[in-house]
Homo-oligomer: A and B are copies of this chain.
Amino acid sequence: MITDEVPLLDHHCHGVVDADLDRPAFEALLTEAPTAHPGRSGFDSLLGAAVLRWCAPLLDLEPHCDPERYLARRWELGWSEVSSRLLRAAGVDTWLVDTGYSSVSLTTPAELAGLGGGVAHEILRLEQVFEEVSRTADAAGLAAAVEAAVRTRGAHAVGLKSIVAYRTGLELPAQPPTAAEFTRAADTWLREGDGRLANPVLLGWLAHLGVRVGAELGLPLQLHTGFGDPDLRLQRADPLLLSDFLSATRHGSATVMLLHCWPFHRNAGYLAHVYGQVRVDVGLAVPYVGERAHEVLAELLELAPFSSVCYSSDGYGLPELLFLGAKLWRRGLGRLVDTWLADDALPLRTAERLVHGIAAGNAAKVYIHARPNGPTG
């Protein structure tokens, strides 16, 4: 396939668990469901089938082996060897790692690159910076302190990320709140809140900060959209809700990355079509939907310009997810583009540009080449 050997830039992933996992712990990471359910197994899905099909041979097992066999071999080899084999098989040479909170211990970006080869850079989670700074700031000084922290920590990162979809949803305001509105909201939140940022005024301010400071420092702003765990309400994570925000911020030099997007990936493709600052991916979806990756990618590409689409796995915790993101992306996009070539819909040079752009080039332009002095992290 045309995608077989192309090196990838995984522009949105997380670390892997730095410990051996028993079956419940492994299965808990093989689903976005928050709790185990009797009679449900994470293997019982297209994702589970893909783990047994594609990961097992990398652990010297037959494809399609039993979950028990797979997990026993995983334990036998140890998390570090397993991670190294799977991550190296992904063919990724650059990892952009979201270092936001995690309920389990994960590898650092440097450790991830050590295991998987290539280099890793950090993506800075805005809500986490805000929450950390808020522990020692008062309402009057909060905005300045958060901005200073984003600038300081952003100097060591290649991108910013907001998970506002999980907090109040994506209906961000076209304009940031005024200073007075911010202070009033901050004052109430600091007095009455539990430290978790879920105030729409403060979150709107923070997203606009991300665009403003991101443009200045050459840091794209990633926004979680679509599919994720049920802490979010999926209908509030439709990227179309960002329309006012994207329209208002389209004339600057900021780049906005819409992550995941499924099942709203056609909507995201439309936004990438009409707003030049928008980039999109179908990370997370690609490993989960297994054999259906080509169809999800095809729907995204109906409207999305080729230069707006980026590869990511959104793998979290399990190296299987970071590998399968890559493997199923190669398989899905490869099948799609090979069909287009066979139907003479594209010439080979356009197909290659499309594939290399999505694999790495489009992301490299905005994360790596756009930095005034390159990443320093």
Chain A contact residues, CB within 8 Å of chain B: 31-41, 44-46, 49-50, 52-53, 63-64, 227, 229-230, 233-235, 238, 240-241, 243-244, 247, 250-251, 262-263, 266-267, 270, 273-277, 285, 288-292, 295-296, 298-299, 301-308, 340, 343-347, 350, 365
Q: Taking the nearest CB of chain B, how far is it from the CB of A323, in angstroms?
A: 16
Is the Cβ of A53 less than 8 Å from the Cβ of B344? Answer: yes
Give bound CA distance, A288 to B266, whole Å.
Answer: 13
Oligomer: number of copies? 3
| Residues in chain B near residue A289, CB distance under 8 A | 302-303
Complex contacts, A308 vs chain B, CB 8 Å:
40
Q: How near does chain B come to A30, taking the closest CB pair, in angstroms?
A: 11
A31-B273, A49-B345, A347-B64 given; A303·B291 CB < 8 A? no
Residue contact B273 to A33, C-beta cutoff 8 Å: yes
The complex places the Cα of A257 from the Cα of B229 at a distance, in Å, of 20
A39 and B365 contact, CB distance less than 8 A: yes
Task: List residues of chain B with CB within 8 A of the CB of A285.
Answer: 302
Cα distance, A137 to B88, chains bound together (Å): 70
Would A33 and B365 count as touching, CB distance under 8 A?
no
Contact A227 B346 (CB under 8 A): no
Once the chains bind, are B31 and A270 in contact (CB under 8 Å)? no
| 21 residue pairs from A and B, CB less than 8 Å apart | A33-B274, A33-B276, A38-B276, A40-B276, A40-B305, A41-B307, A45-B273, A46-B301, A49-B345, A49-B346, A49-B350, A227-B303, A230-B247, A230-B274, A233-B243, A234-B240, A234-B243, A263-B266, A263-B267, A291-B343, A292-B299
Q: Is the CB of A298 within 8 A of B292?
A: yes
Contact of A63 among B238, B290, B305, B344 (CB under 8 A): B344
By the criterion CB–CB under 8 Å, are B40 and A230 in contact? no
* CB contact between A298 and one of B295, B307, B340 (< 8 Å): that residue: B295
Q: Does the CB pair B270–A263 fall under 8 Å?
A: yes
Instruction: Across the A-B interface, give the 5 residue pairs with the lowest CB-CB distance, nearest first.
Output: A37-B276, A64-B347, A263-B266, A289-B302, A230-B274
Q: How many angstroms from the CA of A292 to the CA of B343 in the assembled complex? A: 12
Q: Which residues of B contact A307 (CB under 8 A)?
A: 39-41, 44
A209 to B273, CA, bound (A): 34
CB of B350 within 8 A of CB of A64, answer yes
Identity of the chain B residue whose Cβ is nearest the Cβ of A343 in the assembled complex: B291
With a CB–CB cut-off of 8 A, which chain B residues contact A229? 274
Taken together as a complex, chains A and B put the C-alpha atoms of A274 and B52 apart, in Å, by 21
A288 contact set on B, CB distance < 8 A: 302-303
CA distance A267 to B264 in the complex (A): 10
Closest residue of chain B to A237, judged by CB?
Answer: B240
Whether A234 contacts B267 in the complex (CB less than 8 A), given A307-B40, A350-B64, comes out as: yes
Distance (Å) between the CB of A43 and the closest chain B CB? 9
A307–B38 Cα distance when bound, in Å, is 11
Contacts of A44 in B (CB 8 A): 305-307
Partner of A240, one of B235, B244, B346: B235
